Amino acid sequence: MNIVKKTVTSAAVAVAALSVAQVAPANAGTSIRGWVAGDRSANVRSAPSTTARVVGHRGSHSFVSGTLVNGSWIKVPGGYINRGVIESQSTRFRTVNGRLSTSTLCPVNKQFNSPGSVGYGYTKNTQRYLNCYANQQLNSLEAAYKKQFGHYALIDLTYRPVAEQRYWFRVFGAPRAAVPGTSNHGMAVAIDFRETDCRGEEFGWGGAGNRWLRINGGRYGFVNPFRYGTAGESYHFNFVG
């Protein structure tokens, strides 16, 4: 989607010049301006916590302006938005999507990696990366999942550079793979748990893991964007705060 570029004040640039995927020290009261980075809306919470009630949403690519209340949450009119869903570099997301430096992201715990090969050279030892704020919440989600099931919710894919997006688009095409430069994976705010097309498998529609994630994922800021049981991906979850 092409979006008209908006002007950001020099003060805003000074406090948020990099993608906010990078966890950088910032003081409470700092002004934060940017745009909802994913292709889905972001949650507005009643308090600065993913366990607080959802009181509204901000649409994909919509402008956000607010005040940092702690390291992870921005106070906006009507509630709080997680800083991890806000991109501060540009409204031209295709110039950013899939071009984030892994130095601005956080490494995903390798214990969460799926043991098999997923393609594109992935193995159980391949380092995955995620938006740092999303990664904080993922660690909490995984701890809860392991407490329930005795093992972690295994992950196939997280952040995808644009070259990898092009690869998966060649393999699967639309709509299963997003047009390169538009994927939530390219903004490091999406996770594919172990991919399956089989109904009833752990992360397939009706599987115990999928049911748990759909019921509990929102407590950590992760939601599946597809209507249950559709041709959509049962294992794909976006970070929406």
Q: What are the domain boundaries of the chain?
A: 10-94, 98-239
CATH class of 98-239: alpha beta
Instruction: Label the pairing between strands 31-36 and 236-239.
Output: unpaired
Q: Is 10-94's fold the same as 98-239's? A: no
Q: What is the DSSP string of 181-218?
A: T--GGGGT-EEEES---STTSTTSTT-HHHHHHHHHGG
pTM above 0.85, yes or no: yes
CATH number of 10-94: 2.30.30.40
Q: Tens of pLDDT along the chain (241 residues)?
A: 322 223 322 223 222 223 333 445 567 788 999 999 888 899 999 999 999 999 999 999 899 999 999 889 999 999 999 999 998 876 677 889 999 999 999 999 999 999 988 899 999 999 999 999 999 999 999 999 999 999 999 999 999 999 999 999 999 988 888 999 999 999 999 999 999 988 999 999 999 999 999 999 999 999 999 999 888 999 999 999 9
Residue with tokens 């092409």: 2
